[in-house]
């Protein structure tokens, strides 16, 4: 078994226009002051990293590493959630998702997809240049608008959708394979990969591609009323990343999973700061440790109630206290009588 690394912090929700949140150096020093040991870097934020440059220049990648190391931290992984979303976008969402792309490809879905695919390929090479073994992203969605089938889905629609999704991702997955990096999809409502079954359909279409791995975030399963512990039993071999994020689901006679179009604060299901929700993190850390998870435990702060700086401060302590330092000996070694083949055979009467 391995001791899980951490605590790490996903920087995406903390970047801003004011110090210490407006550049990589200062936000890393702030994170270190709270007790974090690593940072997950959003590749769409130029204040953190120039993704293309990191892919093409090992010298630049080393400079980024140096900035993080100077603060006493490590880079846990890179993230391309926004770019991954744009690999597959249904036309109904074009206007909303255009904001994730640079101005020159907005209003041009084909150009936007091409840009997103290139971004993911840069992410593979940049990760390799940084010495990273895993990368976080979203799958995008062609089918999400049909998730609740009314009107009835036409026969073959889901098959066609996943065939196309895999067609778009396979060349990207091959680049990640070439660079020795696992591409970890965050299983998330709004994405075509939103639960175990949809992930398995995608995996089948990619011919069980070894790099089509998982980012485990239990909060998204709480909001779907899924068994997030058994999920680990099913998919632990593919789980290469871990977002430590809390959530709660409190359905009423007026609303449930779908939330009644309410803002996050008024939804039955909502994300919470660590320790304020319903996720059983003791069991999660135990399962992941028992399955020899070798990656980081990274805080992703999303909460409609608590201030993010308080969530980060408390989250660093929360993760630290949940990481299990694995034992190097069996608890009953004191009672060992020793053994050899002759002794074992005598016990068995053979």
Is pLDDT of 228 > 80? yes
Cis geometry, peptide bond prior to residue 174 (ω within 30 degrees of 0) = no
Global pTM?
Answer: 0.96
pLDDT recorded at residue 347 = 87
Q: How confident is the model at residue 220 (pLDDT cuts 50, 70, 90)?
A: very high
295-320: average pLDDT: 98
Q: Each residue of 31-75: pLDDT tens digit? A: 999 999 999 999 999 999 999 999 999 999 999 999 999 999 999
pLDDT digits 0-9 by tens, 120-134: 999 999 999 999 999
54 within 8 A of 119, measured Cβ to Cβ: no
* 78 pLDDT tier (thresholds 50, 70, 90): very high
Domain ranges in the chain are 5-348
Mean pLDDT of the chain: 97
Is the model's pLDDT at 292 over the cut of 90?
yes
Per-residue tokens: 213: 């791995």
pLDDT > 80? residue 318: yes
Task: Tell me what the mean pLDDT of segment 14-30 comes to.
Answer: 97
pLDDT confidence of residue 339: 75
Taking 90 as the threshold, does the pLDDT of residue 332 lie above it? Answer: no
Scanning the chain, the segments in alpha helix (DSSP H) are: 24-33, 51-56, 58-70, 81-85, 94-97, 109-129, 157-178, 196-205, 219-222, 228-235, 281-290, 308-322, 341-348
Average pLDDT over residues 170-185: 98
Is residue 340 very low, low, confident or very high in pLDDT (cuts 50, 70, 90)? confident
Look at residue 337 in the predicted model and tell me its pLDDT.
Answer: 74
What is the pLDDT at residue 59? 98
Confidence band, pLDDT 50/70/90 cuts, at residue 338: confident
Burial class (CB in 10 A: 0-12, 13-18, 19+), 253: exposed
**Banded model confidence at residue 236, pLDDT cuts 50, 70, 90:** very high
> How many Å is the Cα radius of gyration of the chain?
22
Render pLDDT for 96-148 as a digit per residue (tens, 0 to 9).
999 999 999 999 999 999 999 999 999 999 999 999 999 999 999 999 999 99
* pLDDT attached to residue 334: 73
Token duo for residue 120: 């993911």
**Could you tell me the fold of the domain covering 5-348?**
TIM Barrel (3.20.20)
Identify whether the C-beta of residue 289 lies closer than 8 Å to the C-beta of residue 4.
Answer: yes
The pLDDT of residue 333 is above 80: no
* pLDDT value at residue 107: 97
**Which runs of consecutive H residues, i.e. helices, occur in 34-153?**
51-56, 58-70, 81-85, 94-97, 109-129
Q: Which pLDDT does position 115 carry in this prediction? A: 98
């Amino acid at each position: 078994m391995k001791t899980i690394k951490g605590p790490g912090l996903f920087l995406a929700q903390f970047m801003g226009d004011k110090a210490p949140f407006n550049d990589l150096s200062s936000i890393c020093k702030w994170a270190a002051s709270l007790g974090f040991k690593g940072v997950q870097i959003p590749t769409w934020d130029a204040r953190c990293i120039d993704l293309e440059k990191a892919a093409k220049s090992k010298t630049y990648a080393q400079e980024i590493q140096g900035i993080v190391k100077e603060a006493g931290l490590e880079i846990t992984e890179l993230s391309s959630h926004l770019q991954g979303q744009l690999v597959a976008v249904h036309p109904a969402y074009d206007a909303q998702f255009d904001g994730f792309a640079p101005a020159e490809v907005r209003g041009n879905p084909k150009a936007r997809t091409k840009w997103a695919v290139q971004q993911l390929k840069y992410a593979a090479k940049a990760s390799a240049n940084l010495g990273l073994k895993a990368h976080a992203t979203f799958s995008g969605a062609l089918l999400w608008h049909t998730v609740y089938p009314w009107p009835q889905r036409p026969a073959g629609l889901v098959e066609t959708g996943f065939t196309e999704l895999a067609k778009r991702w396979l060349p990207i997955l091959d680049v990640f394979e070439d660079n020795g990096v696992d591409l970890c999809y965050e299983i998330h409502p709004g994405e075509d990969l939103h639960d175990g079954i949809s992930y398995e359909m995608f995996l089948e279409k990619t011919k069980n591609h070894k790099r089509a791995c998982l980012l485990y975030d239990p909060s998204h399963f709480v909001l779907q009323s899924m068994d997030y512990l058994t999920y680990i039993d099913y998919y632990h071999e593919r789980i290469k990343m871990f977002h430590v994020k809390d959530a709660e689901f409190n359905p009423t006679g007026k609303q449930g999973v779908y939330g009644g179009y309410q803002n996050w604060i008024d939804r039955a299901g909502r994300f919470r700061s660590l320790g304020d929700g319903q996720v059983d993190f003791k069991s999660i850390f135990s399962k992941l440790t028992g399955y020899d998870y070798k990656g980081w435990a990274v805080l992703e702060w999303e909460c409609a109630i608590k201030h993010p700086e308080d969530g980060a401060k408390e989250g660093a302590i929360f993760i630290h206290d949940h990481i299990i330092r694995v034992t190097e000996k069996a608890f009953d070694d004191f009672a060992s009588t020793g053994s050899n083949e002759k002794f074992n055979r005598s016990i068995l009467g053979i």
